[in-house]
Structure 1
Amino acid sequence: MEQLNLTNGTESKYADCPSIDDFRNQVYSTAYSLITVLGLVGNGLALLVLIKTSRQTSPFHVYMMNLAVSDLLCVMTLPLRVLYYVRKGQWDQGDFLCRISSYTLYVNLYCSIYFMVAMSVSRFLAVVFPVQNLRLVTVNHARLVCLGIWVFICLLSSPFLMSGQHIDDATNKTKCFEPPKGHGLKKLVALNYVSVVIGFVLPFLVILLCYAGIIHTLLSRKSASRQQQGTATKAIRMIVIVLLTFLVCFLPYHVQRTIYLSYTFGQDCSEKLAVQKSVVVSLCLAAANSCFDPLLYFFSGESFRSRLVSLRHSTTARALHHTDRLKPVTGSEAEARHGLRG
């Protein structure tokens, strides 16, 4: 993700301006540490619940599992970034991990977006076309959609495998997650526009169209069964959470990244530094989307809360059964059991 931030203080274009490296190192190391902990706990718990209750599989369940896996893979790459920024921009983990960690972060960032699209389309069909939904939205179809998303995003993100670690001539440090220079920068600008259109604008438009259809259907529906009311409640919760995630996490990131890559700054250093710092903050917000997704499972997930309760009850029952088996038998209990046998 940092390959697109262009916040390297040693870049010749900004040689006359103060460096924000200290600000960048502090913000990234702190934010990524918090996101790692919250993301691992929230998505790890969600994935555990979904796996343990996999007998209740539904299309929405399949999308939730893939989104949880995507978020977990995303936050698992963040400790390497924490280590990099704690060491003041010194990379010691080798070229392979540099390439893979950059690539993995982008894959799972955009997979998360597309899994949200799939969940939104699924909820749209359930509300607007409930009869056709039973035939169109099946577990096998959902698995095929998820496979297609993984393959599509992995191929689309493949350019991030092309750049790895390099030596910074000014500081003699081994760098990773830093922007390319010269001709590589022009390729980066073109790649940014492709990722903005395909990775953000199109998914966001699809989500808005789905939610417009859901809201229109709910407003025009005069009477509804209890099942339809439950589906509508889940849809409304999803609308709120997904839109907040897009507006808080993904929108600032793509807007700030595009502005910084495309906008020609004047000689005012304060203006440049303000944009650079805003890009750092927006990158942290984009990575933080993995912390918001557990809210999506809990508040709009299909029977997720009932799955959580049933898992807790079954775990408690097994623990009590195990305790009873290990509990020593008193003399009176032994006599009572012997009497019953007699």
Structure 2
Amino acid sequence: MENVTGGLQDNSSQCESIDDFRNQVYSTAYSLITVLGLVGNGFALVVLIRTYRQSSPFHVYMLNLAVSDLLCVMTLPLRVLYYVRKGDWHEGDFLCRISSYALYVNLYCSIYFMAAMSFTRFLAIVFPVQNLRLVTENRARLVCGAIWVVICLLSSPFLISGQKFDPITNKTKCFEPPPPGKSLKKLIALNYVSLMVGFVLPFLVIILCYAGIVRTLLSRTHAARRQRGTGTRAIRMIVIVLLTFLVSFMPYHVQRTVHLNFLSRGDTTHCENVSMQKLVVVTLCLAAANSCFDPLLYFFSGEGFRSRLSSLRQSMKASTMQRTDRRKPITASESGENQQLKTG
């Protein structure tokens, strides 16, 4: 941030630097997100892969969401190292670009996979007959493939910004905003595109789907309410997805837009910059934390996820018992009983 606040040194004595706050919060938050994200999504991925024979369209979306989250959290340790070293990047230009890119790919893939899961649940509840014909595993795979390709292509501008050497601090910088100028104007334009396409559009789809689901559930007759499983999963999904958007995605997108427009102004003070940057730190941590919230989606609203977990446990228990029986020595009495059975 030295580039942004370099012209405001006259006010710097009145406010503390953002560096200590940023380094402490990012290193702590990213470490925690890495551990929780690896454990939660790694466990979910094992369950989903081991029970792949019970596949469904919803299962396909959950699998892709878990892969997306894992790819993201695997790059977070590089950010932890950067902030533990107090903003000094040693890992090279390529990893700097990939780390930034992976975070945004995960963010928008997660949003679109949630939108696809919400639309799938909407069809299952509001149009159950058409759902059997329209929603198939192959179509779910095609949708996931399209999401990966489109998001990876649309996020490619984040590969443009790599490491930069800062002569003032004598450190190599990464993950820093551009200084005011042409690059900032391009970033503001890019922000509005990603805001509308990556957040507002899928969020509207999700809201419309949930409105349709709630309306259908409320208008069901008493006899139709016997299908409580689908309705309960839908309500759980609505709660978890909306909480993820309100806690993780919305604050980040709102604050990012405000911050970039704030940087384009020339009448800001150093204290105002520090306050704005602290909000950026907090909201970016919340955005990265979506990787920790997604396992809740699998467990509480995933189609048969808990039954998959139960069947996986039973199969593992059965295989363990079989191995134990093979290793167990045959006693003399058991041998005699076997001989009697053969001769009888």
TM-score (norm 1): 0.94
Q: Distance in 2 between matches of 1:43 and 1:74?
A: 11
Letter of the 1:322 partner, please give it: R
How do 1:34-49 residues align onto structure 2 when only pairs under 5 Å count? 34-49=32-47
Q: What is the CA RMSD across the aligned residues, in angstroms?
A: 1.6
Q: Distance in 2 between matches of 1:310 and 1:229?
A: 22
Other structure's SS at 1:90 match: coil
Alpha carbons 1:10, 1:170 under 8 Å: kept: no
Letter of the 1:85 partner, please give it: Y
Alpha carbons 2:8, 2:269 under 8 Å: kept: no
**In structure 1, what is the equivalent of residue 333 of structure 2?**
332
**In structure 1, what is the equivalent of residue 257 of structure 2?**
258
- Note the alpha carbon deviations across 1:113-150, whole angstroms, 9 max, x for none: 00000000000111111111111111111111101100
Q: Distance in 1 between matches of 2:281 and 2:31?
A: 15
Deviation at 1:175, TM superposition (A): 1.0
Letter of the 1:97 partner, please give it: L
Deviation at 1:338, TM superposition (A): 2.7
Gaps of 5+ in 1: 1-6
Aligned residue among 158, 175, 192 for 1:177:
175
Deviates more, 1:219-228 or 1:277-286: 219-228
Pair 329,73 (structure 1): closer, same or farther in 2 beyond 3 Å: same
Q: Distance in 2 between matches of 1:280 and 1:236?
A: 32
Q: Distance in 1 between matches of 2:160 and 2:268?
A: 33
- Note the alpha carbon deviations across 1:69-113, whole angstroms, 9 max, x for none: 011111111010011111111111111111111111111110000
**In structure 1, what is the equivalent of residue 281 of structure 2?**
280
Letter of the 1:206 partner, please give it: V
- Note the alpha carbon deviations across 1:236-262, whole angstroms, 9 max, x for none: 110000000000000111111111111
Letter of the 2:276 partner, please give it: V
Deviates more, 1:256-265 or 1:193-202: 256-265
**In structure 2, what is the equivalent of residue 22 of structure 1?**
20
| Number of equivalences | 336
**In structure 1, what is the equivalent of residue 310 of structure 2?**
309
**In structure 1, what is the equivalent of residue 220 of structure 2?**
221
Pair 21,116 (structure 1): closer, same or farther in 2 beyond 3 Å: same
TM-score (norm 2): 0.94
Aligned residue among 149, 161, 164 for 1:163:
161
Alpha carbons 2:163, 2:173 under 8 Å: kept: yes
**In structure 2, what is the equivalent of residue 134 of structure 1?**
132
Other structure's SS at 1:92 match: coil
Q: Distance in 1 between matches of 2:2 and 2:196?
A: 26
- Note the alpha carbon deviations across 1:192-221, whole angstroms, 9 max, x for none: 111111111111111101101111111111
Deviates more, 1:259-268 or 1:290-299: 259-268
Alpha carbons 2:5, 2:273 under 8 Å: kept: no
Aligned residue among 108, 114, 117 for 1:116:
114
Letter of the 1:321 partner, please give it: Q
Deviates more, 1:10-19 or 1:109-118: 10-19
**In structure 1, what is the equivalent of residue 322 of structure 2?**
321
- Note the alpha carbon deviations across 1:3-41, whole angstroms, 9 max, x for none: xxxx55774254443421111011001100010010011
Q: Distance in 1 between matches of 2:302 and 2:268?
A: 50
Letter of the 1:185 partner, please give it: L
**In structure 2, what is the equivalent of residue 4 of structure 1?**
none
Deviation at 1:335, TM superposition (A): 2.4
Aligned residue among 24, 29, 32 for 2:30:
32
Deviates more, 1:75-84 or 1:96-105: 96-105
Letter of the 2:256 partner, please give it: R
Q: Distance in 2 between matches of 1:327 and 1:10?
A: 71
Q: Distance in 2 between matches of 1:339 and 1:83?
A: 69
Gaps of 5+ in 2: none
Deviation at 1:287, TM superposition (A): 0.3
How do 1:231-242 residues align onto structure 2 when only pairs under 5 Å count? 231-242=230-241
Q: Distance in 1 between matches of 2:226 and 2:107?
A: 34
Other structure's SS at 2:227 match: helix
Deviation at 1:272, TM superposition (A): 3.0
Aligned residue among 50, 55, 58 for 1:57:
55
2:78 counterpart of 1:84: no
How do 1:64-83 residues align onto structure 2 when only pairs under 5 Å count? 64-83=62-81
**In structure 2, what is the equivalent of residue 3 of structure 1?**
none
**In structure 1, what is the equivalent of residue 300 of structure 2?**
299
Alpha carbons 1:96, 1:164 under 8 Å: kept: yes
Deviation at 1:177, TM superposition (A): 0.9
